[in-house]
């Protein structure tokens, strides 16, 4: 199974699961461009969205950067730190992974480990790191 198909399968599985928080990541494997939407405010804040609603702004952000066929590769219902990393597989195709953690350092480590597990042979690059508030977030502690 190709990396793109595996990530698409992963994205479909995530899309089918219940999600309440406001972050989503879109990525175009052909162009290597991504878009992200995350809730920087707590539930009820000005930019807070539930994850299904965060998908459209993430896709729009990717298209604004020049992506033609972005897909959602991540959405979450957690409050915590996230990191998008990309690399290239042995065929020269993009591999992308969104890591998560209770600290920015742990999220980055998870992303770099994940992108390698998905087949990246090049040194992975961190594209974006962010903190997102999940459903019911009252503070900045990680909730599960």
Report how far residue 1's alpha carbon sits from residue 63's, in angstroms, rounded to the nearest whole number.
26
The more confidently predicted of residues 11 and 93 is 93
pLDDT confidence of residue 144: 28
Q: Within 13 A of 18's CA, how many CA atoms are on the CB side?
A: 1
Confidence of residue 93 (pLDDT cuts 50, 70, 90): very high
Confirm whether 20 is domain-assigned.
Answer: yes
Number of domains in the chain: 1
Q: What angle do CA 39, 55, 122 make, to 5 degrees?
A: 90
Domain range enclosing 128: 3-132
Confirm whether 87 is domain-assigned.
Answer: yes
Confirm whether 144 is domain-assigned.
Answer: no
pLDDT in tens, 30-72: 988 889 988 888 877 888 888 888 899 999 999 999 999 999 9
Confirm whether 138 is domain-assigned.
Answer: no
Confirm whether 60 is domain-assigned.
Answer: yes
State yes or no: pLDDT of 15 exceeds 50.
no
Confirm whether 38 is domain-assigned.
Answer: yes
Confirm whether 141 is domain-assigned.
Answer: no
pLDDT confidence of residue 98: 95
pLDDT confidence of residue 43: 78
């Amino acid at each position: 199974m190709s990396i793109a198909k595996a990530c698409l399968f992963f994205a479909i599985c995530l899309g089918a699961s219940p999600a309440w928080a406001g972050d989503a990541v879109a990525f175009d494997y052909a162009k290597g461009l991504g878009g992200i939407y995350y809730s920087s405010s707590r539930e009820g804040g000005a930019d807070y969205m539930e994850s299904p609603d965060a998908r459209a702004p993430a896709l729009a952000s990717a298209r604004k950067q020049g992506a033609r066929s972005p897909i959602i590769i991540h959405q979450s219902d957690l409050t915590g730190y996230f990191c998008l990393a990309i690399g290239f597989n042995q065929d020269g195709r993009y591999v992308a992974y969104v890591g998560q953690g209770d600290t920015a350092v742990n999220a980055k480590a998870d992303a770099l480990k994940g992108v390698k597990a998905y087949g990246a042979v090049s040194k992975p690059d961190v594209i974006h790191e962010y903190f997102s508030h999940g459903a019911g977030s009252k503070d900045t502690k990680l909730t599960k």
